[in-house]
Amino acid sequence: MPFDIRKTIETQINEHLEVQQKVLDSLASPIEECAQKWIETLRQGCKLLFCGNGGSAADSQHLAAELVVRLRGSFERPAIPAMALTVDTSILTAGGNDYGFERVFARQVEALGKAGDLLVALSTSGNSSNVIAAVEQAHKQELYTVGFLGGDGGKLGKMVDLPLIVPSTNTARIQEAHILIGHILCLLLETELYSTSSE
């Protein structure tokens, strides 16, 4: 049977829409709670840290960039303190070599995190060992933790202070939802902190 390109495209888009509807139905209130926590964190003069592997590493960098630079080109506002723990190759390779890959994020949380900061832990499975170690370290240092997760939430679903669990087991659909959730949070954050109404 020949590969049906058009049907595959339609199937993928429909699956995406189905997952986003489930996110709307089940996560609107937790996303609102998360937005309030991000706002509270920044109003207290603290910062946001992000970590994840693979596509979640890219998402960590993406969301940190939206905050440090800006989400909307038409909306000028001060930079928001956020950083991805996935970008410094010297730290990542030295940490991996000296302490093992499981510690590459936890070591950075130890160095850069302070009480009152917030760690966003991204893992589609919820079981990434280095993200788990980062959350454990964050709790030791009194950082609040949010999980961008999928499936049943995995181990992280029970560890983080606030789990945002996308109701899907498809990695691509979970990552797409994570970026949507992240963009919504960035929009709410910059609007609440620097404007009286959204654009």
pLDDT tens string 137-174? 999 999 999 999 999 999 999 999 999 999 999 999 99
| Within-domain flag for 97 | yes
pLDDT tens string 76-104? 999 999 999 999 999 999 999 999 999 99
Identify the bridge partners of residue 162 per DSSP, sorted by sequence position. Answer: 146
Domain hosting 126: range is 9-194
Binned at pLDDT 50, 70 and 90, residue 187 comes out as very high
Burial bucket for residue 192 (CB in 10 Å: 0-12, 13-18, 19+): middle
| Within-domain flag for 3 | no
Task: Please check the confidence at residue 120 and state whether its pLDDT lies above 90.
Answer: yes
Binned at pLDDT 50, 70 and 90, residue 195 comes out as confident
Q: Rounded to whole angstroms, how far apart are CA atoms 184 and 162? A: 16
* CATH number, domain with residue 124: 3.40.50.10490
| Within-domain flag for 18 | yes
186: nearest Cα among 75, 108, 105, 25 = 75
| Within-domain flag for 183 | yes
| Within-domain flag for 40 | yes
pLDDT tens string 50-83? 999 999 999 999 999 999 999 999 999 999 999 9
Q: At how many degrees (to 10) do helices 89-99 and 104-112 cross?
A: 120
| Within-domain flag for 148 | yes
71: left (phi over 0), alpha (psi -120 to 50) or beta: alpha
What pLDDT sits at residue 138? 98
Q: Count how many domains the chain has.
A: 1
| Within-domain flag for 156 | yes
| Within-domain flag for 199 | no
E-state strands within 68-158: 82-84, 118-122, 144-150
Q: Rounded to whole angstroms, how far apart are CA atoms 62 and 87? A: 11
For residues 173-199, give the mean pLDDT: 89
Q: Rounded to whole angstroms, how far apart are CA atoms 56 and 152? A: 17
pTM listed for this prediction: 0.95
